[in-house]
């Protein structure tokens, strides 16, 4: 009797997408990378979920590092895959500002539905046009068992980046009257 070994490889799927938008600003804005501003943005982006293990570090006069753990809400259609409506995730952000330009490199890890997720954000305050120009690019790896709903996962992440853009624009003008 011969023994036959079968090796089955489950390839993980990878995808990239871009979100590009421009939103009007109601103020003369400038970037604020203070700990309180970064904390407020993170808290709002997670829909007011608890931010655990918050760490904020100024790297130099232009850059900061922000790390935290939080819970993210998942869409109803994913509930059959995960026993909870909330998933833990670790966020690590490297944020730099040069004049009117903000650059963020975000790594999301320890999340059940994604093998990896990295997001690069480039946002420019256009003072003449009084708008915030936003470019968000993401690279992700989806586990093999979610490949059939990869487009839905990407759609949810695109929505999240659009929401983040609106949040950045709102935070820029928070507490200011339309100057």
The answer to whether position 179 is within a domain reads: no
How confident is the model over 48-93, as pLDDT tens digits? 888 999 999 999 989 999 999 987 766 655 555 555 555 778 999 9
The answer to whether position 90 is within a domain reads: yes
The answer to whether position 50 is within a domain reads: yes
| CATH classification at residue 133 | 3.30.530.20
How confident is the model over 95-117, as pLDDT tens digits? 999 999 999 999 998 877 778 89
Determine the straight-line distance between the first and last CA of the chain, rounded to whole angstroms: 84
* Contact assessment for residue 103 and residue 33, using Cβ atoms and an 8 Å cutoff: no
- Confidence (pLDDT) at 7: 38
The answer to whether position 124 is within a domain reads: yes
- Torsion angle, CA of 158/152/150/105, rounded to 10 degrees? 20
* Contact assessment for residue 19 and residue 146, using Cβ atoms and an 8 Å cutoff: no
The answer to whether position 9 is within a domain reads: no
Domain span holding position 36: 15-172
Question: E strands of 36-175, at which residues?
Answer: 52-58, 63-73, 86-98, 101-109, 116-126, 131-142
- Confidence (pLDDT) at 176: 64
Number of domains in the chain: 1
pTM of this prediction? Answer: 0.81
The answer to whether position 4 is within a domain reads: no
The answer to whether position 1 is within a domain reads: no
The answer to whether position 117 is within a domain reads: yes
């Amino acid at each position: 009797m011969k023994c036959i070994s079968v090796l089955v490889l489950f390839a993980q799927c990878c995808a990239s997408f871009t979100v590009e938008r421009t939103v009007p600003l109601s103020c003369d804005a400038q970037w604020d990378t203070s700990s309180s501003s970064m904390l407020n943005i993170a808290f709002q982006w997670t829909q007011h979920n608890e931010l655990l293990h918050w760490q904020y570090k100024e790297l130099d006069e232009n850059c900061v590092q922000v790390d935290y753990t939080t819970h993210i809400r998942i869409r109803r259609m994913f509930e059959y895959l995960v026993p909870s409506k909330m998933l833990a995730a670790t966020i690590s952000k490297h944020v730099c500002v040069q004049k009117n330009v903000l650059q963020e490199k975000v790594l999301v890890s320890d999340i059940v539905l994604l093998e990896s997720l990295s997001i690069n954000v480039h946002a420019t305050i256009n003072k003449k046009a009084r708008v915030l120009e936003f470019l968000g690019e993401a690279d992700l790896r989806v586990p093999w068992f979610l490949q059939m709903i990869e487009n839905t996962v990407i759609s949810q992440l695109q929505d999240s980046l659009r929401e983040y853009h609106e949040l950045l624009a709102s935070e820029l003008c928070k507490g200011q009257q339309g100057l």
